[in-house]
């Protein structure tokens, strides 16, 4: 699997006023250093997502950005060798590792096919995904929300390989058992091998029918785009990926589920959640 779609077009209003000028996907988190320096690196979340997907073999990236935040994201993501030269001229020994970190990042970025798609008005996770249809083409791809922080991507290899064992599977959801269900899409599953089969999903239901929440990373076949076209607006009067998954099931497509078990991940969409993610990332980066 080579293609990934990363959505970053949300307004991030629950993190105002910081997100007025800079999107939440640029909020910094700690990351493990590549050298023996005890101090961890501080990177924007979008860089952490990109590098981890790259290290897992992805080479085609579609970033969905808002017209408001596109410039700030591009300013960070696009290679800037003039900035590296500026650091070199400072002749500061502490800058050496940052120069190397930037060169590593730029080399990865330049080795990829990258598409930037702008949204003037966010109209839901599903609508953001729909804009990537032409870029994705006929490839099975990974969808990753730009505000989801995963400290460890070692699950990704099994997530992908298990999703490919049954050719009849149209989509694979990443699920986790939770007691607190507010704000999550919910899935109901039945036992199967190698992955459980999903038989019902709902986006942020008032009365959840299970404790299995849908995490914001998906493996999808291009059929999802036809489903999005035929799906009505849902929660918050927006087009939702969860509802499109339900449409696929109504069309007799099989949807599988990968259990994320008790592994850590964070939605950085609120100040409290971001604080937890930042604290955890620091401790994780020192391991």
Q: Look at domain 169-263 and name its CATH class.
A: alpha beta
**pTM, full prediction:** 0.94
234 three-state secondary structure: coil
Q: What is residue 103's predicted lDDT score, i.e. its pLDDT?
A: 96
- What is residue 274's predicted lDDT score, i.e. its pLDDT? 96
The tokens 């330049």 sit on which residue? 110
> Are domains 3-120 and 169-263 of this chain identical in fold?
yes
Task: Please tell me the distance from the alpha carbon of residue 154 to that of residue 252, in angstroms, as a whole number.
Answer: 32
Walk along the chain (287 residues) and give the pLDDT tens digit of each residue.
Answer: 999 999 997 877 788 888 888 899 999 999 988 887 888 999 999 999 999 999 999 999 999 999 888 999 999 999 999 999 999 998 888 898 999 999 999 999 999 999 999 988 778 899 999 999 999 999 999 999 999 999 999 999 999 999 998 889 999 999 999 998 988 999 999 998 888 999 999 999 999 999 999 999 999 999 999 999 999 988 888 899 999 999 999 999 999 999 999 999 999 999 999 999 999 999 999 98
Using the structure block, give the residue that is written with the tokens 């959640």: 273
The per-residue b/e assignment along 35-65, b for 16 or more CB within 10 angstroms, e otherwise, is eeeeebbebbbbbbbbbbbbebebebbbbbb
Q: Which fold has domain 3-120?
A: Spore Coat Polysaccharide Biosynthesis Protein SpsA; Chain A (3.90.550)
Tokens for 138? Answer: 């006929």
Question: CA 227 to CA 221: how far, in whole Å?
Answer: 11
CB atoms within 10 A of CB 229: 12
Structural domain spans, the chain = 3-120, 169-263
């Amino acid at each position: 699997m080579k293609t990934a779609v990363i959505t970053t077009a949300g307004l991030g209003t629950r993190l105002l006023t910081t997100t007025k000028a800079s999107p939440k996907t640029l909020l910094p988190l700690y990351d493990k250093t590549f050298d023996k320096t005890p101090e961890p690196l501080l990177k924007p979340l979008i860089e952490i997502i990109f590098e981890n997907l790259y290290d897992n073999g992805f080479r085609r990236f579609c970033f969905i950005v808002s017209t408001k935040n596109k410039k700030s994201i591009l300013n960070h993501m696009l290679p800037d060798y003039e900035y590296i030269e500026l650091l070199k001229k400072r002749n500061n020994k502490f800058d050496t590792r940052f120069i190397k970190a930037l060169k590593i990042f730029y080399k990865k970025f330049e080795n990829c096919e990258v598409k930037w798609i702008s949204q003037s008005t966010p109209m839901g996770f599903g609508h953001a995904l729909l804009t990537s249809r032409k870029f994705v083409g006929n490839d099975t791809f990974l969808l990753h929300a730009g505000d989801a922080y995963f400290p460890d991507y070692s699950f990704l290899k099994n997530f992908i390989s298990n999703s490919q064992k049954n050719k009849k599977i149209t989509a694979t959801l990443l699920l986790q058992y939770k007691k607190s269900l507010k704000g999550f899409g919910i899935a109901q599953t039945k036992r199967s091998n190698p992955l459980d089969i999903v038989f019902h999903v709902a986006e942020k239901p008032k009365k959840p029918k299970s404790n299995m929440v849908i995490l914001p990373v998906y493996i999808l076949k291009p059929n999802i785009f036809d489903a999005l076209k035929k799906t009505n607006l849902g929660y918050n009067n927006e087009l939702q990926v969860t509802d499109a998954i339900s449409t696929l099931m109504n069309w007799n497509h099989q949807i599988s589920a990968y259990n994320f078990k008790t592994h850590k991940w964070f939605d950085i969409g609120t100040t409290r959640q971001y604080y937890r993610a930042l604290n955890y990332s620091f401790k994780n980066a020192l391991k």
